[in-house]
Amino acid sequence: MKGLKVIVLVIFLLLFLGGNGKAEEKSLTLAQAVDFALQKNPTLKAADHLVEAAQAKVGGARSGLFPRIDMYEGFTRTNTPTMVFMDKLNQESFTSNDFALTRLNHPSPINNFNTQFIFTQPIFDQGKTWVGIRQAKIGSQATQEESIRVKQEVIFEVIKTFSQAIRAKEDLTLAQKTEAVAVAHVKLADDLFQTGQVVKSDLLSAQVRLSEVKEMVIQARNGVKISQAALNKVMGMNQNDNFEIQGELAVSCEECDLNNLIADALEKRPDLLAMNNYVKNGREGVRMAKTNYLPDFHLMAHYDFNDRNDAWGNQGESWTVGGIFQFNFFDGLSSTYKIKETNAVLKQLTRQQEELMSRIELEVREAFFHREEANERAKVVNEAMTQAEESLRIVEDRYKVGLSRMVEVLDNEVALTKAKRNHLYALCDLKVACAQLDLARGVIIPPPERESGNSDTETPLHQEVDRDQKTIVQSTDN
């Protein structure tokens, strides 16, 4: 008896620990998903590193304003008469005996360790440093704007994949409910068949439909897994992680003028702002090419140590200071062609700017019309779903009293399921279309910023409602 109690206790503990050891799914809201993506998305991190690199270029460009100090250490061994003569002078070891013709013409080999400290200070380097600094600053600003655009695109992808994950979850729920309805239809047909009120074909038709719905459930369950992995990928998370998605597809859109949206996009799109900076840099490139026509002047100083036996030795010391002025009169028309080249590059950038503005306008138009389409579809399928529900109820009641056939019941059930799925997809498309329009305008921002009450906030184009909290999806000028 005691042994039996021990066995029962062990089984109880194993069941208890096994139940508690099961991994619990963490809840995930849209705002949390965006936060994860902003922290861990590799594409966004790569963009941040590009910004760091561009900022470092600004510091590198400024280095041309500061002096340069170099150290040089060299060793030579020679019996060349002129080199021997100079080395002895530099080592301060030259004597009157070294004037003998034999020594002058046929000197013995001599070692020389030469140490130099070289100081150079640009005074005017044709203006290249100042133009380079402006180019680096403009390039850094352009890179920051591109980083903002990448951030917006990542946020949009989170909203899109998050909405698709909600849709997949609701699609699975719909499939499971449809399965329960199909099971009920099979039971109803079987009961009526057993009492002789319907033929066997009604039962078989209901069973075939149940098999189709079970296949639908399998596909929907797989869709949930795929959508979760896609969301994890955008968030920069392990694709094996599981989350309990918290949110709904319900979204309300506000009326807005297309022309105002286009004007807004042309004013605020970060990629267009980046292109504007690239055009500015193109103009600076022309200025840089023209600097070749200007003079160059810098100061220099050398301090030398020369020693016959030791590196870093100071057997002989000397110094030199001076200034160097340089002005080119003819370089084979190299500068002229360089100016032509940079002017052509500037024209290319200008045309790319025009093309980008045209593409942005088209993107806004497409997003606007897609949103209008999705909004109308949501209204239409919602009405169709209500009608399909009522039609199925009527046909089921008629079937129970023998006034309808099973094929009519199944047709109406299929129509209702299709209407519900269309409604689900229309809501998802509407939510994504609203975010797409914000992305096209260049004003999409993460939910936490929307909740912070930023003073630069634009009028929201749509609202989304989570189960636990209300998040206003609105635009702001970055």
Q: pLDDT digit string (tens) for 127-170?
A: 888 999 999 999 999 999 999 999 999 999 999 999 888 888 88
With a CB cutoff of 8 Å and minimum separation 6, the contacts of 4 are none
The neighbour count for residue 473, using CB atoms within 10 Å, is 21
How far is 181 from 412, CA to CA, in rounded Å?
12
Angle between helices 406-441 and 334-400 (to 10 degrees): 160
CA-nearest of 471, 376, 381 to 433 is 376
How far is 41 from 236, CA to CA, in rounded Å?
4
CA-nearest of 223, 205, 214, 225 to 175 is 214
How far is 439 from 270, CA to CA, in rounded Å?
10
How much is the pLDDT for 407? 67
Write the single-letter amino acid at 254: E
Structural tokens at position 284:
């600076």
How much is the pLDDT for 164? 87
How much is the pLDDT for 25? 62
Residue 134, classed as helix, strand or coil, is helix
How much is the pLDDT for 217? 86
Residue 327, by phi and psi: left (phi above 0), alpha (psi -120 to 50) or beta?
beta
The neighbour count for residue 67, using CB atoms within 10 Å, is 12
How much is the pLDDT for 95? 79
Residues in the chain: 478
Per-residue model confidence as pLDDT tens digits over 100-121: 777 778 888 988 899 899 999 9
Tell me the torsion sign for CA atoms 82, 85, 91, 92: negative
Residue 358, class by beta-carbon neighbours within 10 Å (0-12 exposed, 13-18 middle, 19+ buried)?
exposed
CA gyration radius, the chain? 39
Low-confidence ranges of the chain (pLDDT < 70): 1-25, 253, 399, 402-404, 406-407, 409-411, 445-478
Evaluate whether 342 touches 288 at the Cβ level (below 8 Å): yes
Residue 107, class by beta-carbon neighbours within 10 Å (0-12 exposed, 13-18 middle, 19+ buried)?
buried
Encode 2-32: b = buried (16+ Cβ within 10 Å), e = exposed: eeeeeeeeeeeeeeeeeeeeeeeeeebbbbb
Phi, psi of 127 (to 5 degrees): 80, 5
Phi, psi of 271 (to 5 degrees): -70, -30
How far is 311 from 93, CA to CA, in rounded Å?
17
CA-nearest of 230, 151, 232 to 448 is 151
Structural tokens at position 177:
């409910």
How far is 271 from 254, CA to CA, in rounded Å?
26
DSSP per-residue string spanning 327-348: --S-STTHHHHHHHHHHHHHHH
Angle between helices 334-400 and 258-268 (to 10 degrees): 140
Token pair 């949206």 in the structure block, residue = 261
Per-residue model confidence as pLDDT tens digits over 236-272: 888 888 888 787 777 776 778 889 999 999 999 999 9
How much is the pLDDT for 176? 84
With a CB cutoff of 8 Å and minimum separation 6, the contacts of 290 are 335, 339
